[in-house]
């Protein structure tokens, strides 16, 4: 089983090192190869996603990804910025199905902005379509407007689009995920305004008929942004497009108050996947050894489950993470009085011990 290890920028190297440590003690036949991605790859090779890195990723069963980006690259032309690496990997590997759990751990309830009774026990699975929508839709660019409010003026434009089979395949992913959970799917769109959303909704209804055991409802994206705040526990599986999913999955993660705990998986139709923490590269704390490695370690668990068919090993890691939380160990981001503050390295070691 071949894994590409792409630590990236910022805290990426520190947190991925701990996840690799954890993987190594599992005693599985894992072949790991590391490569540069993001800003560090741009500095070394002139491109955030060098050909060699992409090749390695494509040839692996799974990619374990840290994080990319730093303010110092903000001035680069868009195609050279670190985040293009992640878009390039998604596109080239065809990673259309993004799984973003928003889980509130019992021991971390108080880290949330929300009142404990609203957030305790939260367990939402957001499924975001990841290779379509306005992220990749052509045409896009700048031009002189020939119609609209100001014909003759410079304008910029992007195209939101979804085809029926693109929606069908993510719908199947969502319904099948729901079958393993509470059998409820909320599909989020903006069908009162967008043509794309109307097709999205129509296809969800159609595919839903093949899953009579799963209850499907629909919610407008503005309302979903509200209901997540008002009563997050009413959601179970939430499925939505790339753009709305970007916003809602981050909102939902932050509701838990412990985004440093949340993993993610991005899969293609062959089960190949990219696994990364839900948080970013946090350049402000990079190199200090204080970042929380648990989201990355839990991403490695998702990798074992989804791409490497090692459910038992995944469960072992997840149990080990629960155990270190029970032991009262906390990195700075989730620290509260009465717990023990530990470094990135110490947290990784604690998980290894708990295994």
Ligand X SMILES: CC(C)[C@H](C(=O)O)[C@@H](O)C(=O)O
With beta carbons less than 8 A apart as the criterion, state whether 214 and 178 touch: yes
The Cα–Cα gap between 300 and 179 comes to 24
Could you tell me the smallest distance in angstroms from the CB atom of residue 233 to its own copies?
11
- List 246, 323, 335, 341, catalytic entry: 246
Q: Which is nearer to its own copies, 199 or 261 (CB)?
A: 199
Instruction: For 86, list phi and psi in degrees, rounded to 5.
Output: -70, -40
The least CB distance from residue 153 to its own copies, in Å, is 4
Dihedral (CA of 305, 311, 315, 321) sign: negative
The set of residues, in sequence order, having a beta carbon less than 8 Å from that of 78 and lying 6+ positions away, is 84
287 is in an annotated binding site: yes
195 touches its own copies by CB under 8 A: yes
* 87 forms part of the interface with ligand X (CB under 6 A): yes
CA distance linking residue 326 with residue 154, whole number of Å: 58
Between CA 133 and CA 129 the distance in angstroms is 8
User: What is the distance between the alpha carbons of residues 158 and 143, in angstroms, rounded to a whole number?
Assistant: 11
Instruction: State yes or no: residue 233 binds its own copies (CB under 8 A).
Output: no
Choose the stretch contacting ligand X; rule: CB under 6 A; options: 47-55, 83-91, 206-214, 311-319: 83-91
Q: State yes or no: residue 223 binds its own copies (CB under 8 A).
A: yes
Residue closer to ligand X, measured from CB, 107 or 240? 240
Indicate whether 246 belongs to the interface with ligand X (CB under 6 A). yes
Say whether 81 counts as a known binding-site residue. Answer: no
Q: How many CB atoms lie within 10 A of CB 319?
A: 12
Active site residue 61: no
Q: Is residue 125 classed as helix, strand or coil in its secondary structure?
A: strand
In the chain, what is the greatest distance between 2 CA atoms, to the nearest angstrom? Answer: 66
Binding-site residue ranges for Mg(2+): 222, 246, 250
Binding positions for ligand X, rule: CB under 6 A = 83, 86-87, 192-193, 222, 246
Binding positions for its own copies, rule: CB under 8 A = 78, 81, 83, 87, 113-115, 118, 131-132, 134-138, 140-142, 145, 147-150, 153-166, 190, 192-196, 198-200, 221-223, 225-230, 243-244, 246-251, 253-255, 259
- Residues annotated as part of the active site: 135, 190, 222, 246, 250
């Amino acid at each position: 089983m071949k894994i590409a290890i792409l630590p990236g920028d910022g805290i990426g190297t520190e947190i991925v090192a701990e996840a690799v440590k954890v993987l190594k003690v599992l005693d599985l036949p894992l072949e790991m190869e590391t490569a540069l991605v993001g800003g560090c790859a741009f500095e070394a090779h002139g491109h955030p996603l060098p050909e060699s890195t992409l090749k390695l990723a494509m040839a692996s069963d799974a990619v374990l990804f840290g994080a990319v980006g730093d303010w110092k690259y903000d001035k680069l032309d868009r195609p050279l910025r670190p985040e293009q690496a992640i878009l390039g990997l998604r596109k080239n590997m065809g990673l259309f199905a993004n799984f973003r759990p928003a889980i509130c751990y019992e021991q971390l309830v108080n880290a949330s902005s929300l009142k404990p009774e609203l957030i305790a026990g939260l367990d939402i699975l957001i499924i975001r379509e990841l290779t379509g929508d306005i992220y990749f839709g052509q045409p896009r660019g700048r031009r002189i407007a020939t119609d609209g409010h100001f014909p003759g003026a410079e304008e910029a434009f992007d195209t939101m689009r979804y085809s029926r089979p693109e929606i069908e395949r993510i719908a199947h992913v969502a319904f099948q995920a729901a079958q393993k959970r509470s059998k409820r799917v909320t599909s989020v769109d903006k069908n009162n305004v967008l043509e794309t959303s109307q097709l999205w909704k129509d296809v969800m209804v159609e595919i839903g008929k093949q899953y009579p055991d799963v209850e499907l409802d629909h919610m407008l994206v503005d309302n979903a942004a509200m209901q997540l705040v008002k009563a997050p526990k009413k959601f179970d599986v939430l499925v939505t497009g790339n753009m709305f999913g970007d916003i809602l999955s981050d909102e939902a993660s932050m509701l838990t108050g412990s985004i440093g705990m949340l993993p993610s998986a991005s899969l293609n139709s062959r089960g190949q996947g990219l696994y990364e923490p839900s948080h970013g590269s946090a350049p402000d704390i990079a190199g200090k050894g204080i970042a929380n490695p648990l989201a990355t370690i839990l991403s490695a668990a998702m990798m074992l489950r989804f791409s490497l068919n090692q459910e038992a090993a995944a469960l072992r890691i997840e149990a080990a993470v629960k155990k270190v939380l029970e032991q009262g160990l906390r990195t700075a981001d989730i620290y509260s009085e009465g717990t023990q503050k530990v470094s990135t390295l110490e947290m990784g070691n604690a998980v290894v011990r708990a295994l």
